[in-house]
A and B are shown apart, each in its own frame.
Chain A
Amino acid sequence: MTKAAKVMVPAIKVTRLHKTFNCCKALDGVSLDINPGEMVALIGASGSGKSTLLRHVAGLAVGDASAQGGSIEVLGRPVQARGRLATDIRATRARVGFVFQQFNLVGRLPVMTNVLTGSLGRLPLWRSLCGLFPHQDRERAWEALTRVGIVETAWQRASTLSGGQQQRAAIARTLVQRAQIILADEPIASLDPESSRRVMETLATINAEDKTTVVVCLHQVDFAIRYCPRTIALKKGVVVYDGPSAALTPALLRDLYGAEAEELGAAIQGSASFVTGPGGNAALAVAG
Chain B
Amino acid sequence: MTTALDTARLSPPPRQSLVKLLVWGLIFAVLAWSWSGAEIRPWALIKDGANMGTFLADFFPPNFHDWRYYLEEMLVTLQIAVWGTALAVVCAVPFGLLCAENIAPAWINQPIRRLMDSFRAINEMVFAMLFVVAVGLGPFAGVLALFVHTTGILAKLFSEAVEAIDPRPVEGIRATGANVLEEIVFGVIPQVMPLWISYSLYRFESNVRSATVVGMVGAGGIGVVLWEIIRGFYFAETCAVMIMIVITVSAIDIVSSRLRKIFI
Question: Which residues on A are within 8 Å of B, measured CB to CB?
Answer: 58, 60, 90-98, 100, 102-109, 113, 117-122, 125, 128-129, 170, 173, 177
Contact status A117-B168, CB under 8 Å: no
B173 contacts which chain A residues (CB < 8 A)? 106, 117, 120
B40 at the interface (CB under 8 A from A): no
Q: With A128-B185, A129-B182, A129-B185 in contact, is A104–B177 under 8 Å at CB? A: no
Contact status A121-B171, CB under 8 Å: no
Interface extent on B, as a size class? 20 to 34
Contact status A121-B176, CB under 8 Å: yes
Contact status B190-A93, CB under 8 Å: no
B247 at the interface (CB under 8 A from A): no
A97 contacts which chain B residues (CB < 8 A)? 175-176
8 Å CB contacts to A: which residues of B182-235? Answer: 182, 185-187, 190-191, 193-194
Residue of A nearest to B178 (CB): A120
Q: With A120-B182, A125-B182, A129-B181 in contact, is A105–B169 under 8 Å at CB? A: yes
Contact status A109-B190, CB under 8 Å: yes
Contact status A93-B176, CB under 8 Å: yes
B105 at the interface (CB under 8 A from A): no
Q: List 12 A-B contacts (CB under 8 A).
A: A60-B174, A60-B175, A92-B177, A93-B177, A97-B176, A100-B172, A103-B172, A109-B186, A117-B186, A129-B181, A173-B172, A177-B177
Nearest Cβ distance between residue A160 and chain B, in whole angstroms?
14
Contact of B168 among A104, A113, A118, A129 (CB under 8 A): A104
Whole-angstrom distance between the alpha carbons of A122 and B174 in the complex? 13
- Per DSSP, chain A at the interface is helix
B179 at the interface (CB under 8 A from A): yes
Whole-angstrom distance between the alpha carbons of A93 and B174 in the complex? 8
Lowest 6 A-B CB distances belong to which pairs?
Answer: A121-B177, A94-B177, A104-B172, A98-B175, A120-B178, A93-B177
Whole-angstrom distance between the alpha carbons of A98 and B105 in the complex? 26
Contact status B186-A106, CB under 8 Å: yes
Nearest Cβ distance between residue A54 and chain B, in whole angstroms?
11
Nearest Cβ distance between residue B194 and chain A, in whole angstroms?
8
Contact status A105-B172, CB under 8 Å: yes
A109 contacts which chain B residues (CB < 8 A)? 186, 190
Contact status A94-B176, CB under 8 Å: yes
A106 contacts which chain B residues (CB < 8 A)? 169, 172-173, 186-187, 190-191
